[in-house]
Structure 1
Amino acid sequence: MFDVTIDAAGATDGERVTFQSGGQTLVGRLYPAAFSHGPAPAVAIIGPMTYVKEQAPVQYARRLAANGFTALIFDPRYRGESGGEPRNVEDPFAKVADLRAAAAFLTERPEVDAARIAVLGICMGGNTAMHAAADDPLIRVVAAVTPHVRNAEADAQWLGGPDAVAARLARGREALAKYEATGEVQYVPAVDSINLEVGMPGQLPWSWYQPHADRGTWENRYAVHSDAALLTYESLSAAARLTKPLLFVHGENCALPEQAKRHFAVVPTHDKLHLRPDTPHLAFYDDPTVIAATTNQITDWFARHLGSTTTA
């Protein structure tokens, strides 16, 4: 395995690429396999809630490329460089479609072996990756890193109880009706250190996202009507129909550990592995030591199921 020096400048290397999803142009960065002698296995990577590609995904893409996989990161619709209006909408159903479009894009690249496509999801991207893999025959294997899983009980734990979820869903539906009637978009911050009426409440998400906003690599804004889709989405049923090989990296210090165990338990494939590192959730986003070790575990899993990469 290899490790590489990762800077904090964002995804400014790799090849800038575009592809279509849901009528929108998505913008990504493609990192070529470091030592391929022909079409290489490839991985499409999706990040946490409200993410852009310059955040956690680039950390994994560069390392996976160094380990012999063509790696694709991208901005989902409504975020970053990708198309979609209004901006800063969080739609988990659209993200599943975007990830499937990313996998399809990889199969069309001459440097990629179309029969060896993987997906990797980080945090909420983990449930997106499992959902996409459950339904897409192009995707052969999946890795979910510290997945923030979604079902009614998980959302209640995340947002402060069933009543809080119901109130937020009602506000989201009201905002959606207003947008559809008038075109006016209601926004709140995506994170805040004190205010809980935001997209991702709590000190922990604020501590990680706000520095990205300060650097100008991520916009701290959240369309309230996102909640109409966000809070009607669940990933447990997708986990229950996932028959692809699954690497599940999630421990007691990650988000909603009991709900994560429930998701893993219902995955029907026998070819699954639950790694339980004693690692804080956010360390999987940007801690070089944690990401290097996790990437090597992902590399081993992908190589087991897609065939080994060939060193020069």
Structure 2
Amino acid sequence: MDTVKIRNKDMLWDIAADLHFPPGFDSKKKHPAIISVHPIGSCKEQTSGNVYGEALAKAGFVVLVFDASFQGASGGEPRFIEDPAQRVEDIRRVTDYLVTLPYVDEARIGTIGVCGGGTYAINAAMTERRIKAVVSITGVNFGRLSREAFSGYNPLGALEAMAQQRTSEARGGEVRVDNYLPCSVEAGRKAGLTDIDVLEATDYYRSPRGEKPHGATSGLFSHRAAAIGWDAFYLAEVLLTQPLLVVIGDKPGGFGAYRDGQEIYGRAASKQKELVVVEGASHYDLYDKPEPVAEALEKVVPFFTKHL
């Protein structure tokens, strides 16, 4: 594995990325490549890298896993911005980087994303035609989630609060960074939280199971307004034509991957598309639990092998 810093001529900061190589990698040959996109509040060392990235590299692909701008080891200020448009632009920029590598076949580039990364990958593919195949693993439409649960089902009220906070910060006030999760599963339960996604996210991100230094699970409140007005699936019926594989678990949770997976499968214009529902699996089971992940990869690897 190589760790690289990516900066294009139109960028003011670096994007940190890891390149995973297949066994017996030959830099003199052309290889299919896959861009792996991490979840909201995550980083490249978590599920997008150490689970799906590594598995796809072992299956014969060059895999690039990167940290979003303003997050992880990538640059950009202020920190902890989760702006969907920027997340999609990051995918374009790492595609720019891939096509400069002599060992990458520019006609065989795909993308995979987990959670929010899954729908960022889908949205990017609609207008980034260098991406030839797309996989969403328990993908969540962050715009829909921001308008619903993440705004207390009061998006206009949330926008007003964000506007006031941004004005305060512009005038030198204290920055507000919200943590999406409680400090522990026990603390969450004591606070009355019962949703499977919230509790399992806490188990993943707040324990040795998935905790990493850059997996902040935090968001800058004053810069979350853009997400409320965004929709990952806008124009999917017209623009999403690449082969598409959607993987979800059959245990619905508050983050909404089950409903979002069903929706995009139905709406996508892709002539070649497949919906895989992993029985007995929750959203976070598909992050790293061996059996659900293996079932997902049984579909993902042949999908990319066929279409790349």
Q: Secondary structure at the match of 1:28?
A: strand
Query: 1:245 matched to which residue of 2?
Result: 243
Aligned pairs for 1:190-201 (under 5 A) are 190-192=180-182, 193-194=187-188
Give the deviation of 1:128 after TM superposition. Answer: 0.1
Q: Deviations over 1:163-214 (max 9, x none)?
A: 2x33323222222233334375222223115479xxxx94333222222696
Given the alignment of the two structures, is residue 188 of structure 1 paired with residue 178 of structure 2, yes or no? Answer: yes
Question: Aligned-pair RMSD on alpha carbons?
Answer: 2.4
Give the deviation of 1:110 after TM superposition. Answer: 1.5
Cα distance in 1 for residues equivalent to 2:294 and 2:125: 24
Q: Deviations over 1:77-135 (max 9, x none)?
A: 11111101111111111100001111221111112111100000101111100011110
Q: Deviations over 1:16-39 (max 9, x none)?
A: 111126432001110112245521
Using the size of structure 1 for normalisation, the TM-score is 0.83
Query: 1:261 matched to which residue of 2?
Result: 262
Aligned pairs for 1:9-28 (under 5 A) are 14-20=1-7, 22-28=11-17
Cα distance in 2 for residues equivalent to 1:259 and 1:301: 21
Q: Choose from 188, 203, 209 the match for 2:199.
A: 203
Query: 1:10 matched to which residue of 2?
Result: none
Q: Verify the 8 A CA contact 1:149 1:260 in the aligned structure 2.
A: no
Give the deviation of 1:273 after TM superposition. Answer: 0.7
Range with greater deviation from structure 2 (14-23 or 69-78): 14-23
Q: Verify the 8 A CA contact 2:30 2:102 in the aligned structure 1.
A: yes
Given the alignment of the two structures, is residue 170 of structure 1 paired with residue 160 of structure 2, yes or no? Answer: yes
Unaligned runs of 5+ in 2: none
Give the deviation of 1:161 after TM superposition. Answer: 5.4
Query: 1:227 matched to which residue of 2?
Result: 224
Range with greater deviation from structure 2 (281-290 or 72-81): 281-290
Q: Secondary structure at the match of 1:113?
A: strand
Aligned pairs for 1:1-312 (under 5 A) are 14-20=1-7, 22-36=11-25, 38-58=29-49, 59-150=51-142, 152=144, 155=146, 157-159=148-150, 162-163=153-154, 165-182=155-172, 184-192=174-182, 193-194=187-188, 202-211=198-207, 216-240=213-237, 241-254=239-252, 255-256=255-256, 257-278=258-279, 279-306=281-308
Q: Verify the 8 A CA contact 1:130 1:144 in the aligned structure 2.
A: yes
Q: Verify the 8 A CA contact 2:181 2:198 in the aligned structure 1.
A: yes
CA 1:238 to 1:16, structure 2 compared with 1: closer, same or farther past 3 Å? farther
Cα distance in 2 for residues equivalent to 1:35 and 1:293: 26
Q: Verify the 8 A CA contact 2:7 2:13 in the aligned structure 1.
A: yes
Cα distance in 2 for residues equivalent to 1:235 and 1:217: 25
Q: Secondary structure at the match of 1:237?
A: coil
Q: Verify the 8 A CA contact 1:104 1:138 in the aligned structure 2.
A: no
Give the deviation of 1:238 after TM superposition. Answer: 4.6
Cα distance in 1 for residues equivalent to 2:142 and 2:81: 18
Range with greater deviation from structure 2 (276-285 or 143-152): 143-152
Letter in 2 for 1:66: K
Give the deviation of 1:287 after TM superposition. Answer: 1.2
Q: Verify the 8 A CA contact 2:115 2:139 in the aligned structure 1.
A: yes
Q: How many residues align?
A: 287
CA 1:230 to 1:304, structure 2 compared with 1: closer, same or farther past 3 Å? same
Q: Verify the 8 A CA contact 1:46 1:74 in the aligned structure 2.
A: yes
Unaligned runs of 5+ in 1: 1-13, 307-312
Give the deviation of 1:215 after TM superposition. Answer: 5.5
Cα distance in 2 for residues equivalent to 1:56 and 1:226: 25
Q: Verify the 8 A CA contact 1:35 1:68 in the aligned structure 2.
A: no
Cα distance in 1 for residues equivalent to 2:110 and 2:7: 19
Letter in 1 for 2:242: K
